[in-house]
Structure 1
Amino acid sequence: MVAFHELTVPLFSFILLILFLKRRRSTAGKIFPPSPRKLPIIGNLHQLGKSPHRSLLTLSKRHGELMLLHLGSKPVLVASSAAAAREIMKNQDLIFSNRPKLSAPDRLTYGSRDVAFSPYGEYWRHVRSICVLQLLSNRRVQSFRRVREEETSLMIERIARSPAGAAVNLSEELVATTNDVICRVALGRKYGGGGEERRFKKFLSEFVELLGASPVGDLVTWLAWVDRVGGLDAKVERVARLFDEFLEHVVREHREVEKSGRVDDEELDFVDILLQFQRENEKTSPVEDETIKALILDMFAGGTDTTVSSMEWTMAELIRNPRTMKVLQNEVREVARNKVEVDEEDLEKMPYLKAVMKESLRLHSPVPLLVPRESTEDTKVLGCDVASGTRVMVNAWAISRDPSLWENPEEFCPERFLDTSIDYKGLHFEFIPFGAGRRGCPAVAFAMSVNELAIAKLVHKFNFGLANGGRGEDLDMSETIGIAVHKKLPLLVVV
């Protein structure tokens, strides 16, 4: 035993020395982005805090526009400037177009078969083209105009029926309206009424919450047991099963209607369109049922949570800034004139409305760190070496508050967008609330058509005060973090 011990100690030391020298040779002559000091095992995790986008902005002021963090065992590149974002999402977009495998989204989206979380490659190109050409083209978005107009009108009617002086939970109204629009567009009908509505809302809320979860095992592999013991794994499995059962029922229901010949081409929803595409491409490019279900999940995840977030922040900012609210109301009411309600044709005559929407997105990026990317090969970014397999976070929230790009960046000032071509479609890297490049959000036109119409109708019909006589400037604007950033407290108004 002693002889064996005497042999193993020097052998172990020799192996450690070889590994150290090999690592040193592999990093010799390389310039890595600056890094904050890290702790054993957790790395820089303790520095993220409750609002990672804010903590990372603070760190970037000390360490620079590019930082290399270690979140557990994962190297993470953080980009906090327009120049760094342009390099990652335009100049080297192909190298940074992959997605890291995240355990919760992976299990919820049938092994990342959706567009948002699917790894870059042939499959992703195939499903993205289905979404862009079949579901989210301008023609298709316009075809759902009636749905958007009807559901936003119903919202206005519900608010108008509230007793005089009573508080209205505007956050709840925006959630209900957005869910109803998405349900009708994606599934063909609303899932409402009694227990069915409550169950659907509950597991949709859980689904969105879990997409934004940060399992310990994703960052420190050997601590994955924590997610099992803490119940996160079980919750993910339960919600994935519930949504699969629900979507299986939806797909079966649509197939039965299709067989009966009762489908009207003017009333096609996303499931109809995907099933039609599946049938037409059965022999050339087969589409599995799990792909159809994963794409529908994307519509809910991207179409409800982020849309509600942006509308909620817009209304909060308007209430906090009564002068801006008055300018917008004057524009909307002037365009609408004697019409009972605003319709989508009116929106193109409202430049100030569009400026308000952009300014709200600038101050309150729905997904402030965007969806993470991953490098597929060794490269250089702004003179710094970045290794293959590095996770990448682009802090869109920090970039849109950069004082070198924006005058008085903390102020809500829609006028800054009136005489500029800067837009949110991924061409201007100082303003990227929906991302950019290959992995930019393909549903921008769909989301904004709902946002603009809902806000225009609200300010056209109502004047707003805060419940309990509160003053707009005192409105609590604290955040709660998930896949999208929401107001921590619901927006309670008197109309």
Structure 2
Amino acid sequence: MSIKLGSVRAVVVSSPRAAELFLKTHDHVFASRPKTQAAEIVSYGSKAVALTPYGTYWRNVRKLCAVHLLSTSKMEQFKPTRTKMIGLMVDRLRGAGQKEEVVNVSEIVAEVFEKLLYRTILGSGDNNDDDHDDHADDDMRVKEILGEMVKLGGAFNVSDYLPLLASLDLQGLAQRMRQLSESMDKILERIIEKHGQEDRDRNLKDYDFVDILRSKLNQPINPQDQNSEVLGRTHVKAILIDMMVGAQDTSAVAIDWIFSEILKNPLV
């Protein structure tokens, strides 16, 4: 069934045969994401991965992230940090259990994964110097901005379906997203500059995502593609936002469900 949502044509797939055609046979045709006002504003003109239309650029950025940020060796690098923080979480829960205190496991798990997120991506919380409070303030502000970005990005936006009305910003969403984007940009610029000043003192094995992406600045995103875009600061900031949004809730929610299933089925 085909319907029109404003000026956007949509197709409703309601049978297994049609689903196979869309999701398997012609997957490459329908794999792209639609351009939205939120993606244009928050992702610096769709320069990240999650909300970027399928194509050569998307494949190049995805490869960059898979090879340099999300590889097995990179995940192994942060294993000691994960082990330490999860151990502290278990000790905290054990202590509360011994005192017969009521705890909110969801909040504790979310807090642990947030710390891991900011440590892995932004390098926050890996030192005890005078800048520790600044890192904490930035982390808290980043969390607030990301939450608001996700909320606005998922809201119904008239401008996505009636582009002629986009300039009017009837719902005020574009203005709010620009304000959030500007705030996030200032924080990320400060973090990137801080990492640049620390380069001399950082060992390669201690590199976080910011360090890795900084080392790729002004180089082709895909060295094997002669037409590949050169990685700039806007690309770096867009990718960092993508990584943080993608990792913010998924792991914590998964652990939350696992705990729920264990409580309901303790003998498993």
Does TM-score exceed 0.5, indicating one fold? yes
Q: What one-letter code is carried by the residue in structure 1 that aligns with 2:74? A: R
Q: Does 1:307 align with 2:248?
A: no
What's the counterpart of residue 266 of structure 2? 325
- Aligned partner of 2:180 in structure 1 is 239
What is residue 209 of structure 1 aligned with on the other side?
Answer: 151
Aligned counterpart, 2:49? 115
Give, in angstroms, the shift of residue 153 of structure 1.
Answer: 2.0
Moved more, 181-190 or 216-225: 216-225
User: Cα distance, 1:299 vs. partner?
Assistant: 0.7
Letter in 1 for 2:158: V
The 3 A distance-change label for structure 1 pair 90 and 145 is: farther
Larger displacement relative to structure 2 (245-254 or 210-219): 210-219
- Asked if the contact 2:157–2:171 (Cα under 8 Å) also holds between the matched residues in 1, the reply is no
Is 1:149 the equivalent of 2:88?
Answer: no
How far off its partner does 1:250 sit?
Answer: 1.2
Q: Shift in Å at residue 81 of structure 1? A: 5.9
Partner of 1:96: 30
1:265 corresponds to which residue?
Answer: 204
Larger helix share, 1 or 2 = 2
Unpaired segments ≥5 residues, structure 2 = 127-131
Would you say 1:129 and 2:63 are equivalent positions? Answer: yes
Q: Are residues 162 and 103 of structure 1, via their aligned partners in 2, closer, same or farther at CA, if it must alter by over 3 Å?
A: same
The question of whether the paired residues in 2 share the 8 Å contact of 1:73 and 1:220 is answered with yes
Compared CA separation, residues 81 and 129, structure 1 to 2 (3 A): farther
The change in CA–CA distance for 1:86 and 1:274 in structure 2 (over 3 A counts) is farther
Superposition pairs for residues 23-62 of structure 1, below 5 Å? Answer: 33=1
Change (3 A) 1:256 1:279: farther
Residue 263 of structure 1 and its aligned partner are, at CA, apart by 1.9
Structure 1: which 5+ residue stretches go unaligned? 1-32, 34-67, 328-495
Distance 1:80 1:130, change over 3 A: farther
Shift of the 236–161 alpha-carbon distance from structure 1 to 2, 3 Å rule, reads farther
Distance 1:210 1:162, change over 3 A: farther
Q: Does the alignment pair 1:170 with 2:105?
A: yes
Which structure 2 residues correspond to residues 86-485 of structure 1 after superposition, within 5 A?
86-162=20-96, 164-190=99-125, 195-222=137-164, 224=166, 228-258=169-199, 261-278=200-217, 281=220, 286-319=230-263, 321=264, 324-327=265-268
Structure 1 residue 116, shift from structure 2 partner: 1.0
CA RMSD of aligned residues (A): 2.8
Q: How does the TM-score come out when normalised to structure 1?
A: 0.47
Counterpart AA for 2:142: F
Q: In the aligned structure 2, how far is the partner of 1:280 from the partner of 1:220?
A: 38
SS of structure 2 residue aligned to 1:76: strand
Overall identity of the aligned pairs, in %: 31
TM-score, with length taken from structure 2: 0.82
Task: Give the Cα–Cα distance (whole angstroms) in 1 for the partners of residues 83 and 249 of structure 2.
Answer: 20
Q: Secondary structure at the match of 1:172?
A: helix
Q: Aligned equivalents of 1:114 and 1:82: distance in 2?
A: 32
Which residue number corresponds to residue 373 of structure 1? Answer: none
Residues 167 and 138 from structure 1, CA distance in 2 versus in 1: closer, same or farther, beyond 3 angstroms? same
Question: Radius of gyration: which is bigger?
Answer: 1
When structure 1 is superposed on structure 2, of 274-283 and 145-154 the one drifting more is 274-283
Task: Say which SS state the counterpart of residue 300 (structure 1) adopts.
Answer: helix
How many residues get paired?
255
Q: Structure 1 pair 174/288, CA: closer, same or farther in 2 (3 Å)?
A: same
- Between structures 1 and 2, the one with greater strand share: 1
Q: Are residues 1:74 and 2:11 paired?
A: no
One-letter code of the match for 1:174? Answer: V
Distance 1:141 1:82, change over 3 A: farther
